[in-house]
Amino acid sequence: MPKQSHRAASKVPPILAHAGPMLERYDVIFCDVWGVVHNGVTAFEGACLALRKFRERGGAVILVSNAPVPKKRVADMLDSRHVPREAWDDIVSSGDIALGHVEDRKFQRLYCIGPQDRDQALFSALNARSVELRDAEAIICTGLNDDRRETPDDYRETLEHALDQRLPFVCANPDLVVDVGGTLLYCAGAIADLYANMGGEVYWAGKPYLSAYEAAHHKAEALRNANVEKKRTLVIGDALRTDIKGAQNWGCDALFIASGIHRHETVEGIDLSANKLSDLFGANAPPAIGAMLELMW
């Protein structure tokens, strides 16, 4: 038993006050957006400054977002939250990955789930038609139609009909929840997870799946006009299931930011708790080489 406890404890990342010395060991950062760069309402100034300094020293920053919209819309949202353009080089979005998958599968008739106003950038970019469920070849989901009032279970009856029709489900945002100004709201991933548990076929367009990091790696090599080694790449994120697990899947290091969706599990008062962090990074958790309350240079 003591040996098992020691193995679990050895996986707990050290708590860092400043990331500058660590960041200087890397050429490329794959950085999460929501929960690291902004909180859904306003930018985290310290994080933006750290990313800007990293770029000033010759590094490349690829924002890897599970936002279910094309990257142009992600850039517009960053502007609206006052994230400086100098903090990043390029963007990989789950929306673009989902659109690419729809094109590859040549779907022509889709049943759409998600708020038509908020995610219009994706829905308008589809070459397929939006149809009723009974006429669909597949489902594409960007989120709950009303994430302030609904839960994934509200979609169970729809998913049962989809399962009867053997419809594939394209999840344009694999996140289960998102932190919006301190409130956790369900995302498309929560509906997709329910469908998968029911036995449905799900395509996950984004983190922690390799498609997101392959796209980011391609962009990084194009920016640097050189090969980018995984050992010189750092993933920064706030979600174990997507960001930190995604880094493990890709084979590179990860830095965990605690003030995002795991803040209730890791923060005590205004400080990151070593004991709570130890509980979060249990035996089955993906590894991180450091943990911070917020990203700071």
- Name every residue whose Cβ is closer than 8 Å to that of residue 205 and which is 6 or more positions away in sequence: 94, 95, 97, 98, 101, 170, 171, 172, 173, 174, 211
Mean pLDDT of the chain: 93
Span 1-19, pLDDT tens digits: 334 433 344 489 999 999 9
What is the C-alpha separation between 94 and 8, in angstroms, rounded?
Answer: 32
Q: Give Cα separations from 4 to 8, 103, 131, 283 (angstroms).
A: 6, 48, 53, 9
Span 200-255, pLDDT tens digits: 999 999 999 999 999 999 999 999 999 999 999 999 999 999 999 999 999 999 99
Which amino acid is residue 184, in one-letter code?
L
Span 59-79, pLDDT tens digits: 999 999 999 999 999 999 999
Q: Count other Cβ atoms within 10 Å, centred on residue 80.
A: 12
Give pLDDT, residue 5.
36
Model pTM? Answer: 0.88
Which tokens hold the place of 124?
């308008």
Which amino acid is residue 66, in one-letter code?
N
Give pLDDT, residue 181.
67
- Calculate the dihedral angle through the C-alpha atoms of 67, 70, 74, 80, rounding to the nearest 10 degrees: -120
Query: Could you tell me which of 191, 192, 187, 183 has the C-alpha nearest to residue 261?
Result: 183
Reported confidence tier of residue 293, pLDDT bands at 50, 70, 90: very high
Domains of the chain: 2-95+208-292 (3.40.50.1000), 103-204 (3.40.50.1000)
